[in-house]
């Protein structure tokens, strides 16, 4: 259900952009995506919870049968950490973009690319946090509560 919710939400965003008469490629920025995914991966690695994360992803797709409540709650806590790190990563991307803008005030072409990094980092961080990791956390928390 989480993937379905993500797909529906992204579809609505794409349709809104197209209805506004804009090009969908304007919201595609590899630098911003790298910032978000890189920081999330770094936080996950630094926490030492990669195995717990993998277990949580497995539980989301295959169910929680045969799993202990503490294992499910530990996985939910990892997804909660990723919610927070995605939001922080979006803010970090915003600051990186702002710094690039301020260092290139005389060069308007670089300012546009830097503004895209700033804004799209926030967008990608919000999408990862609220459309992927938060639903995963709540799904696991609800499954643990049923035990």
Task: Going residue by residue through the chain, which has 147 residues, state the pLDDT in tens, using 9 for 90 and above.
Answer: 788 888 999 899 999 989 988 888 888 999 999 999 999 999 999 999 999 999 999 999 998 888 999 999 999 999 999 999 999 999 999 999 999 999 988 888 888 889 999 999 999 999 999 999 999 999 999 988 887
Q: Is the Cβ–Cβ distance between 54 and 132 less than 8 Å?
A: no
Q: Is the Cβ–Cβ distance between 118 and 92 less than 8 Å?
A: no
Residues 6 or more apart whose CB falls under 8 angstroms from that of 77 comprise none
For the record, the structure tokens of 144 come out as: 């643990």
pTM of the predicted model, to two decimals? 0.90
126 phi and psi angles, rounded to 5 deg:
-65, -40
- Residue labelled with tokens 């035990």: 147
């Amino acid at each position: 259900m989480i993937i379905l919710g993500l797909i529906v939400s992204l579809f609505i965003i794409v349709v809104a952009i197209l209805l506004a008469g804009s090009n969908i490629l304007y919201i595609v920025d590899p630098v911003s995506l790298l910032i978000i995914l890189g920081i999330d991966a770094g936080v996950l690695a630094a926490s030492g919870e990669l195995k717990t994360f993998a277990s949580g992803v497995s539980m989301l797709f295959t169910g929680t049968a045969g799993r202990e409540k503490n294992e499910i709650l530990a996985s939910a806590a990892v997804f909660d950490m990723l919610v927070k790190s995605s939001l922080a990563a979006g803010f970090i991307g915003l600051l990186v973009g702002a710094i690039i803008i301020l260092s290139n005030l005389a060069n308007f072409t670089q300012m546009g690319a830097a503004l895209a990094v700033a804004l799209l980092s926030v967008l990608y961080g919000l999408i990862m946090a609220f459309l992927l990791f938060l639903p995963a956390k709540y799904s696991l928390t609800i499954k643990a509560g049923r035990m």
